[in-house]
Structures are given as structure tokens and as C-alpha cells.
Amino acid sequence: MKTMETNKMGEYKTYDLPDYRLGIDDLKTTYLFHGASQGDETRTNNVNEYLSSDGWLRCVDRDIKVFTQEVIDRAVEERITYNNRYIADLKKSGKYGQIEKGGTITIQQFPEYDNPRKLNTVTESYRMEILDFSNTI
């Protein structure tokens, strides 16, 4: 691992991302609306829920510009078809379930937020999850 420089913000640290299984862990989501706040596990394809969420849900498909139930249902079907075709191709090539090495991510520590602080009797800390939706339809 290459050593990164440090500055007043803090040092750079590199983390390994988990390995994943082809055709199992890397399928496209079939829920187009996901909770937008930390820890929110909400997933739905209901357009009315999305429109009434006041920004608490977000669409993972950036290409969708018109939010009607018909458009969303069609996009979900396209994702299901894609996933099924991808799995079939992997099985045909003998790669289904093959473990692939996860990537790495390098971040710069920011001590103001990254170092736990003692607040009364509870230690405060933060956790960050990075979701990569760049491979979505």
C-alpha cells in the first residue's frame, strides 16, 4: 500500500472493500426508490410513496425523468430481465458465484468528525457507507 501524505485535515487512509460474488452480490436493484437518509432501509417502487416522501426517498435511476407508475414498472422489468440474462451468461461461462476482489477506497481523515468524542458518558462516533449506483440502468 502506498503511503499518502498528510496535511492539516488529517492523513489519508486506504480501506479494502469486501469481496463479492458474481451474479449474487452485484445484481441491479429492482427497487428504484431508496431511503435517502442515513440508516433508512426503505425501498419501494410505488410512485405515490416517492412523490409524497418530500425528498426522503430518491430514485436510483438517473435516466428516469417522468415519474409515472407505468414508467417505473417498465424500468423494474428491464432490470429483472437484465439480471436474469446476466446470471444466465455467468452460468453459461462457469463464472456464476465466482468471488471477485473488492476494490479499495482512500479517504482523508477529518479529525473534527472522525475522532470519537466523549459526550457526558456516551462516546460519539460516525460511520460512513458509500453506495455506488453508477452501474444502474
Per-domain residue ranges of the chain: 6-124
C-alpha cell belonging to residue 11: 492523513
pLDDT string in tens for the chain (137-residue length) = 444 554 556 788 888 999 999 999 999 999 999 998 888 899 999 999 999 998 899 999 999 999 999 999 999 999 999 999 999 999 999 999 999 999 998 888 777 666 666 666 655 555 566 666 666 55
pLDDT at 2: 47
Where b means 16+ CB within 10 Å and e means fewer, 23-35 reads beeeebbeebbbe
Place of cell 417505473: 72
pLDDT at 117: 65
